[in-house]
Structure 1
Amino acid sequence: MQQQTLPIAARIPRIGRFSWLMGLYAENHARLTRLFAPAGLARGSYISSLGDGLDVRLDVLERHAYTVELRLTYDMCDPVTGEPDPSAYLRLYNDARQVETTHCYVGRRWQDTIGMYPPPAEVVGHRLRMNTFLGKWLEYLAEQGHGVATLSAAPPRPEAPAVKLAEG
């Protein structure tokens, strides 16, 4: 009996985009946990300052039994909107050891970006981009020296003033 070999492509299992996304969530959990240990932080605002004028703000927005809602941003605001920019809203799943970027800007949820009824592949692609951005940002912050040792409690950010539209 002659044994037949399969080509390499047939022997190596392919990872799907959804599996890749779940892997990103797990990697981002490890990065964020190493960087700021947010699961142990009380609700409130925290600043990581290195003295370079580019402080990082971590807001613990809500705490639930198995999740923590966070916002990660630089401690500066967009001059036009008055909102923090860049800004990533995160959901940390303590039990699953995952961190998901839910959206990156105030008022820019996935529905605002890709529509109400996008095909599933587009939703996964959008989430891949946001969570890849988060992973690279967390790596950059760690390389700069941000971390638990540079994190301290901060006063809450004042509410952004309402944007006044010109009367026509």
Structure 2
Amino acid sequence: MSQALSRTARIPKLSRFGWLMALYAENHARLHRLFAPEGLSTGSYLSSIGDGLDVRLDVIETHRYTVELRLTYDLCDPLTGEPDPSAYVRLYRDAHQTEATHCYVGRRWQDVIGLYPPPAQVIGHRMRMNTFLGKWLEYLAEQGHGVATLRRVEAATTMDAA
């Protein structure tokens, strides 16, 4: 019995922040395997697998250490005219982390949890967004989306021009 207790006592426990950082690392691995966005230039890309529900990847900006992306389906919400679901993503090249910064147009964390939320609430909100992103990336991979199905689209054929 004492041997079993000593083994469990040596297992480190993750804090919520540590768990969030691990989630960012998992999301980076999933996104990298799915679309390898680090190698894409600024612009819009579509992944089509023939199910009528194309995935749109917008590379908004690339910097030395980060890539700003938007991941969505190529369809619009009839009420707002904006893509839904939609996730804005920041990929950190040097740290191998990927973070969902917000998941709906016009709904940043300040809109959801207020201007001065307690730190635990901020971490909880980020955990929910990034859990959603991880599950979505996993689902897209299971459906067959990936680098092989990704093609660049010109500005005239983008959703914004419609």
The Cα shift of 1:155 comes to 2.9
Structure 2 residue matching 1:100: 3-state secondary structure? strand
CA contact (8 A) 1:74 1:84 kept: yes
Q: 1:93-129, CA deviations, whole angstroms, 9 ceiling, x for partnerless residues? A: 0000010000000110000000000000000000000
SS in 2 for 1:82: coil
Give the whole-Å Cα distance in 1 for the aligned partners of 2:159 and 2:133: 25
Retained in 1: the 8 A contact 2:24–2:97? yes
Partners of 2:45 and 2:151 within 8 A in 1:
yes
Structure 1: state its 5+ residue gaps. 162-168
TM-score of the two chains, using structure 1 as the length reference: 0.89
- Within a 5 Å distance, the mapping from 1:54-65 to structure 2 comes to 54-65=53-64
Residue 139 of structure 1 aligns with which residue? 138
- Which runs of 5 or more residues in structure 2 are unaligned? none
Runs of 4+ in 1 over 6 A off after TM superposition: none
For the residues of structure 2 that align with 1:98 and 1:130, how far apart are their CA atoms?
14
% identity of equivalent residues: 75
Number of aligned residue pairs: 158
Look up the SS of the partner of 1:92 in the other structure.
Answer: strand
Q: Find the counterpart in structure 1 of residue 71 from structure 2.
A: 72
Give the corresponding residue for 2:147.
Answer: 148
Q: Residue 52 of structure 1 aligns with which residue?
A: 51
**Paired residue secondary structure (1:142):** helix
Contact 1:54–1:74 (Cα < 8 Å) also in 2? yes
Q: Secondary structure at the match of 1:81?
A: coil
* Residues in 1 aligned to 2:70 and 2:82: alpha-carbon distance in whole angstroms: 12
Structure whose alpha-carbon radius of gyration is higher = 1
TM-score calculated relative to the size of structure 2: 0.92
**Distance across 1 between alignment mates of 2:152 and 2:10:** 52
Equivalences for residues 1-168 of structure 1 within 5 A: 6=5, 10-156=9-155, 157-159=158-160
Local SS of the residue matching 1:12: coil
